[in-house]
Amino acid sequence: MPQVIEWKNPGKDDIIWRYPDERIEWGAQLIVHEYEVAVFFRDGKAYDVLGPGRHTLTTLNLPLLTDYLVKLLGYPESPFKATVIFVSTKQFMGKFGGRSQTTDLAPLTFYGGYWFRVEDPKVFVNEVVGGQDRYTTSEVNEFIRGFINERLIDFLAKYDLLTVFTKVDEVSFKAKAMIQDEFKRIGLELIDLKFEGIDTTPEYRERLFWIKQSGQAAYVLQMETAKTMAKELGKSPGAALGAGMVMIPPVFTPPPAQPSQPAAAPAAQVKTCPSCNRSVPA
């Protein structure tokens, strides 16, 4: 009876499955269901990819692997050794989330969801499954989630707090485009990515509120610095108080107003001389 290689009853969330026996007979029956492909992997590299259908394995439908075996051994061994990795081409959904920091050192927390599919199974197996030694769906999901988080942390760190919160749509669009490009490199297609939440600490939320109200980010930062200084001085003994009272008032001083025009000098008073009838200073 010929060997039958088949992914039976995959779960709806299963992305990959590895056939447990690495000894493959020539003439074995490979059954690939709809929305699946089978990738033949050996010695750290993916070779032939077979799509949906029933395949009798021969040197004709495994030309790349056959060529490798001939170069390696001088002949196509039988049975030959290879790992058969089934890859689902359906759409999947995942969650991401992490912590970052803006250019003005504000802490950020973010989370959301993403939708993806395997676009290039051969590249995917080379870069993620075999390349990262991730042979289960949970390991693949863990890798992809970490892959996204790492890049979003670096991406958000390029923006200041005000931009992140006032231009959410623009930042999200650019983040999605960046992840799309990165996904292609590992054989994936990013269908969509959405931020469900971006937040900061209460202290920075208050700062953000005043920045929006006043439109003067530098002044708000001065105020926050002054508060911090006052708090620290409150912990210090009285010896530091004198220096602190000299330092703090300038920090609290708001941006100077535009100088007004100098006032005109008062007119000089005069009187009439009774002798010559001329005006003379009083």
Q: Is residue 263 part of a domain?
A: no
Residues 195 and 205 in one domain: no
Is pLDDT at 247 greater than 80 in this prediction? no
* E-only strand ranges, the chain: 4-6, 16-18, 23-24, 29-32, 36-42, 45-50, 53-56, 80-81, 83-88, 92-101, 107-118, 188-199, 270-272, 279-281
Residue 164 belongs to a domain with what CATH number?
3.30.479.30
Residues 209 and 194 in one domain: no
Tens digits of per-residue pLDDT, 234-244? 665 544 444 43
Residues 80 and 106 in one domain: no
Residues 195 and 210 in one domain: no
Q: Model confidence at 212, in pLDDT bands (50, 70, 90)?
A: confident
Residues 79 and 102 in one domain: no
Q: Is residue 96 part of a domain?
A: yes
* Residue ending a domain, choose from 38, 55, 88: 88
* Residue ending a domain, choose from 60, 88, 116: 88
The pLDDT of residue 246 is: 38
Q: Is residue 105 part of a domain?
A: yes
Residues 23 and 64 in one domain: yes
Tens digits of per-residue pLDDT, 5-54? 999 999 999 999 999 999 999 999 999 999 999 999 999 999 999 999 99
Least Cα distance to 109 among 176, 208, 198 occurs for: 198
Tens digits of per-residue pLDDT, 65-102? 999 999 988 877 889 999 999 999 999 999 999 999 99
Q: Return the amino acid letter for 68.
A: Y
Q: Is residue 61 part of a domain?
A: yes
- Domain range for 227 is 201-233
The pLDDT of residue 106 is: 92
Residues 81 and 10 in one domain: yes
Tens digits of per-residue pLDDT, 97-122? 999 999 989 999 999 999 999 999 99
The pLDDT of residue 239 is: 44
The pLDDT of residue 129 is: 95
Residues 103 and 166 in one domain: yes
Q: Is residue 272 part of a domain?
A: no
Residues 22 and 53 in one domain: yes
Least Cα distance to 16 among 187, 95, 134, 190 occurs for: 134
The pLDDT of residue 235 is: 64
Q: Which residue has the tokens 């003994």?
A: 237
**How many domains, in total, are found in the chain?**
3
Residues 97 and 195 in one domain: yes
Q: Is residue 176 part of a domain?
A: yes
The pLDDT of residue 277 is: 61
CB 128 within 8 A of CB 187: yes
Tens digits of per-residue pLDDT, 153-209? 999 999 999 999 989 999 999 999 999 999 999 999 999 999 999 999 998 888 887
The pLDDT of residue 229 is: 54
Q: Is residue 145 part of a domain?
A: yes
Is pLDDT at 262 greater than 60 in this prediction? no
Residues 143 and 188 in one domain: yes
Tens digits of per-residue pLDDT, 122-134? 999 999 998 888 9
Residues 77 and 165 in one domain: no
Is pLDDT at 253 greater than 50 in this prediction? no
The pLDDT of residue 231 is: 63
Q: Is residue 282 part of a domain?
A: no
* Residue ending a domain, choose from 88, 121, 139: 88
The pLDDT of residue 183 is: 98
Give the sheet arrangement for strand 107-118, strand by strand: 92-101, 107-118, 188-199
